[in-house]
Structure 1
Amino acid sequence: MTNKSHAQGSDNVLFDLGFDDAEELSAKAALAIKLNELIKKRGLSQVEAAEITGMTQPKISQVRRYKLQNISLERLMQALVSFDQHVEISVQPARQAYAAGITVAA
């Protein structure tokens, strides 16, 4: 039996996979998950969701499929606000309890 050593992963799987923009993609994914939950909960079509958010139907389609490279964090936050959500950004010093980086809780 061989003894294999395993590298310690971070808390961000996208970073572990080598994405340069892992923190931004993680934040976008968290916002997209919440937006997709709201769309599903309301039983909206992509066209109806586009009308509410002011986005185009193809952009809503990208969000629904988590293809988020061409959608800004700001646009995702604005879309959530259009669904009567409160989006809060908190900035605090990085300490032992909070490593430097970006965290989104949705």
Structure 2
Amino acid sequence: MTQEPVFEESSGNVFADLGLEDADELFTRGKIGIQVLRLLKARDLKQREISELLGISQPEVSHLMKGEFQRFSEGKLLTFLKRLDTEITLHLRPRHEGTTMNETIISL
């Protein structure tokens, strides 16, 4: 007798689905980190070159290239994007309707 597989719809954030406390932060780091990896892979740099470009040690480059984004703060990952000549725009708006806040866009 085979049992039918059970599927559960994702919230879109795997860390939240796993019940992790800092799920939003981990998800944000992951999105930023993936973009950093895409840019680095497109440049086809050696780890030594990445180390110099991003201003981090070779062991840190190794962690970054393995996708271990939890080792880096969101700010550090954003700094990597800036060093990779990426324009960063933050779009700030209320999370919930009815909250008073003017929508703001910040370019870094």
TM class by shorter chain equals 0.7 to 0.9
**Percent of pairs with identical residues:** 30
- Structure 1 segments unaligned to the other structure (5+ residues): 97-106
Matched position secondary structure for 1:19: coil
What CA distance in whole angstroms lies between the structure 2 residues aligned with 1:64 and 1:27?
Answer: 17
Name the counterpart of 1:88: 89
Using the TM superposition, give the Cα deviation of residue 9 of structure 1 relative to its aligned residue in structure 2, in angstroms.
3.9
Matched position secondary structure for 1:89: strand
TM-score (norm 2): 0.76
Name the counterpart of 2:23: 22
Computed over aligned residues only, the root mean square deviation of the Cα atoms, in angstroms, reads 2.3
Name the counterpart of 1:49: 50
| 1:64 corresponds to 2:65 | yes
Q: Which runs of 4+ in 1 moved over 3 A?
A: 5-9
Using the TM superposition, give the Cα deviation of residue 7 of structure 1 relative to its aligned residue in structure 2, in angstroms.
5.8
Q: How many residues align?
A: 96
What CA distance in whole angstroms lies between the structure 2 residues aligned with 1:9 and 1:84?
Answer: 34
Name the counterpart of 1:39: 40
Name the counterpart of 1:103: none
Letter in structure 1 aligned against 2:58: Q
TM-score (norm 1): 0.77
Name the counterpart of 2:76: 75
| Relative contact order higher in (CA < 8 Å, ≥ 6 apart) | 1
Closer, same or farther: CA 51–95 of 1 in aligned 2, 3 Å = same
What CA distance in whole angstroms lies between the structure 2 residues aligned with 1:30 and 1:9?
Answer: 17
- Structure 2 segments unaligned to the other structure (5+ residues): 98-108
